[in-house]
Structure 1
Amino acid sequence: MQDPTPLRVDRAGAVGILELARPDKYNALSIALTGALQSAFDDFERPDSGVRAVLLRAQGRNFCTGADLAEVLSLRGDADAVRRFIGPGHRAMRRIEASPLPVVVACQGLALAGGLELMMACDVAFAASDARFGDQHAQYGLLPGFGGSQRLPRIVGLRRAMDLFYSARWIDADTALQWGLVNHLVSPEALAGAALDYCTALADRSGPGVALMKRLARTGLEGTLDAGLAMEERDVTEGLLHGDVTEGLAAFQSRRPPRFEA
């Protein structure tokens, strides 16, 4: 039986909030949940939505411990069924990365396997000081299914990624911060507020400017340095023609905070 609402969607001003809502199943990633993530971004990215930043968080003690085991077990022996499960997960992760909106994730408790893959797809990561991260696929003869084999080496480097894959060990939040897997470490009780405050401040930035910055950084990593520099030259020219730049420069000259259009 599917959860009636595997993803809770909410708003806090200009911040869209996505909350994994399967705490009794450790917020395991199901087809319904990854599909709901994609639909939520469709809604948030509408021009009239008013959303300027997205916060991804989870209910319960743990962020997410991976794919829904019951669904995975039901797929064995059926290649088409496996593709129908893996495909939406991959598309959800890429949807987060490709979104023009900045996406911040807040992790508590365990972020393992698919949960680790989900948090790595986000732009900025907050973690509670008692959070733990890991990937146990190799321990059970499995492979990462939602992009972990590609994103983890890109974020923490090849040797650290291979060690985490091979050993299947969990790392603590301090190690995750040292490795660059997360950006901000806060106490468990401060996690929700700190992540939301960050998103609220981010929502005051220039929407087009942030979108271009995200596209440049993410797309540039997938090509050569020269290709990335060419994109930057093109996009900075486009950006300087936008009205937000006029407001930003006026604010800088007047020594006041900029007031960008919603």
Structure 2
Amino acid sequence: MTRAFASRSFAFLFAFLTLAVIVLVDTSPARAQGSDFFDFFGRGNSRGGPTYTYRSSPGYSPGYYGGNSGYYGGGGPSIFGRGGGSYYGGSPIQRELVSAPGSFAPGTIYINTAERRLYLMLGNGQALRYGIGVGREGFGWAGTHRVTAKKEWPSWTPPREMLARRPDLPHYMPGGIENPLGARALYLGSTLYRIHGSNEPETIGQAVSSGCIRMTNEDVVDLYNRVRIGTVVVVRN
């Protein structure tokens, strides 16, 4: 009887020690770091925290200037899959449906650089208004052009004039979230100017560029999906 009792006691102790080892291994720093590694790449989180997954293209259907994208405010679907604002933050100036600021044909893009606003004319006296960044002092311009090209995640080749001012800049940068042209670009005629996205949303509403019209990535994707090549762009100071 004493021998049987000792055998059961030993078995209980062995089971207890095995369970303790499993718990210690599961909560060790090495295991925690392994979980963080997989969580970073969006492959699950064993500890119940958020899981991040990067997506590089918009998750909604195009709606042209008829306003069929389904939203006008600044809280639409995120092109990076997180919802509500771009990867670098939403625009400090919310996109709005407003009364048209003049007699422009539907589909026209009107840019008021002094106001730091871009308007897309919808017809029936209405327009979509976006916040923009514009050229700093000495780099402002005005005129009428057409959208001659549209590019998603455009590459960037700084013009010679810019490289002369900033020799530290790269001579070429492939498209991506670090590219200063952002997620989309609309090219204006034979000029060097573009309406493009930005990875610096805090500059929206400011005069900081070398003449290009900046928008947040969220807003430029919305505009890009609404306009066609050949769209008239009117720029006034």
Shorter-chain TM range is under 0.3
Could you say which structure has the larger radius of gyration?
Answer: 2
Task: Provide the TM-score with structure 2 as the length reference.
Answer: 0.24
TM-score normalised by length of structure 1: 0.23
Bigger proportion of residues as strand? 2
